[in-house]
Amino acid sequence: MFFSIVAFSFMHLCVKAIPNIPVHQIITLRSVFSISVCIYTLRKNNIPFWGNNKPLLILRGLVGALSLFCFFYSIKNLPLATAVTISNLIPIFALTLSAVFLKEKIKGYQWLFFFVSFAGVCVIKGFDNRVSSFDLVIALVAAFFTACAHFTVRKLRDFDHPMVIVFYFPLVTIPLIAPYTFTHWVQPDWFEWGILFLIGLFTHVGQVYLTEAYKNEEVSGVTFIYYIGIVLALGYGYFIFGETYNFQTALGIFLIISGIGSNLVYKKVQRH
C-alpha cells in the first residue's frame, strides 16, 4: 500500500503539471498505457483475460472510470492538498457501503466522526475562495466512487487474479471516453507527452500495488497509509505549485483527517 500511495502521489503531481491537457484525454491515454501493460503481463503469465466474476469486474471498471474522471477534474481545479484530502473521505463512504450491502452497523461514535470530517469539508468550502460548490461536489463524488471501486476490489479478491482486476479498469474506461477524446483532441508538446507517459506509468503501478494490498490484507489494516498521500500533496502544492493555505483551510484539512483517523482507530479497538 505504501508503494501504491507514493505512485499515486506522483500521478497527482503529473496531472497538476499539465493544465492544458483535458481530463478526458489524460484518462484515455493513461488507459491505453495500462491496458497494453496488462495484456502483455496476462499473456506472459498465461492468465485468462476475462476472469470469473464478469459482472463485478465490469462494475469495478465502471466505478473506477467515474472516480478517476472526477478525481482528475478535482486535481486540476482545486488546490492539490485539498483535492487529495477530500478524496481521502473514502473510508467513510466505504463504511456506509458496508452498512448498506453487508448490514454492518454504524455506531454512535462513528456518526460523530463522520460529522467531524464533513465539518472539515464545510470549513474548507466556507473559507477558501478557490473552492467552488461544484468543484467540491465533484471531489466528494470522486471519493464515493473510489470507495465503490475499493469495495468491489475487496470482493473480487476471492474470484480473480489481481492483474485481471486491473485489466478491467482500462477495458471499461476506453470505450466510454475514447470516442469523445479523439473528436476533441488537444495536441500535447514534447513535455506534455512525457508527463502523460509518467501518468500512465505511475497510475498502473499504483493500481497493481493497491490490488495486491487489498488481496492480502483487510481494508482497515492498510487505510492509514493513505495519510502519507496528504502529506506529499501538501509538499508538492507548496514547493512546486506555490499553493498556500490560511488557518481556516488548514483547520478544515485537520478536521477531515481527524474524523477519518478516529473512525479507523475506533473500528480497530472494537475488533480487539
The structural domains of the chain, with segments of one domain joined by +, span 2-271
Q: What was the pLDDT predicted at 141? A: 94
* Cα distance between residue 146 and residue 219, in whole Å: 13
CA distances from 30 to 69, 206, 220 (A): 12, 12, 29
Q: What was the pLDDT predicted at 189? A: 96
* Cα distance between residue 133 and residue 139, in whole Å: 10
* Cα distance between residue 43 and residue 155, in whole Å: 24
Q: What was the pLDDT predicted at 217? A: 58
pLDDT digits (tens, 9 = 90+) for 22-64: 999 999 999 999 899 899 999 999 998 888 899 999 999 999 9
pLDDT digits (tens, 9 = 90+) for 162-198: 889 889 989 999 999 999 999 999 999 999 999 999 9
pTM of the model: 0.84
Q: What was the pLDDT predicted at 145? A: 93
Worst-scoring range by mean pLDDT, 45-49, 70-74, 257-261?
257-261
Instruction: List, in sequence order, the alpha helices (H) in 54-161.
Output: 54-77, 80-87, 90-101, 108-127, 133-156
